Structure 1
Amino acid sequence: MTFEQFFKQAKLNPHAHLITGVICGYRVEEIENPLTQQVRYLDKLVDELAKGRKMEKILRTE
């Protein structure tokens, strides 16, 4: 399965667009390609969860 297939089938959190910051040297909110941005959202989410941050804080729903 490719990333494209994965994200076509995935239901993203409606707050995913609120994920901000730098991952792999790129600001997530500035990435223009939608597929690349979704992949970086996932990267950022995993990175922040690994650091012990709560999902609510990452998605700014608190």
Structure 2
Amino acid sequence: MKNSSTQDERIAKMSFASVYPHYLTKVQKKGRTKEELHRVIKWLTGFDDKKLKQMIDDNVTFETFFKKAKLNPNAHLITGVICGIRVEEIENPLTQKVRYLDKLIDELAKGKALEKILRK
């Protein structure tokens, strides 16, 4: 699936810290916890709580966030539609990683069991 390069650039330059509160609000509104959110982020990125806090405090872009991440080897198992686009068909690697994160957070907010979200 082809995304516009303008959209890819916008996503790359977007601050993770600016989006994180929206992720947290989304999952908490649905009865999930900050700890569950962090567990999902840790699974995808390899970041522990300290490193995640540092990323937020440093106001890093998604580009930097994912450059410093160690993507889970099972991330390719994340499939489905986010924002009307199949995540497995996204051509830009960074945009795909951001959409992987979006998809995991959507699944968490929809009540999916953590064992199923954290693909093995």
TM-score, scaled relative to structure 2: 0.48
Within the alignment, does 1:28 sit opposite 2:87 as a pair?
A: yes
Q: Does 1:41 align with 2:100?
A: yes
The alignment's C-alpha RMSD in Å is: 1.2
Q: Which runs of 4+ in 1 moved over 4 A?
A: none
Residue 113 of structure 2 aligns with an amino acid whose one-letter code is: K
Structure having the higher Rg: 2
What fraction of aligned residue pairs are identical, expressed as a percent? 82
**What code does the residue aligned with 2:90 have?**
I
- Residue 63 of structure 2 aligns to which amino acid in structure 1? E
Instruction: Specify every segment of 5 or more residues in structure 2 that has no aligned partner in the other structure, as ranges.
Output: 1-59
Q: 1:16 to 1:24 in 2, by over 3 A?
A: same
Alpha-carbon distance in structure 2 between the residues aligned to 1:14 and 1:56: 16
Post-superposition offset of 1:12? 1.7
Greater fraction helix: 2
For 1:60 and 1:6, the matched residues in 2 are separated by 21
Deviation at 1:52, TM superposition (A): 1.4
Q: TM-score with structure 1 length normalisation?
A: 0.87
Q: How many residues align?
A: 61
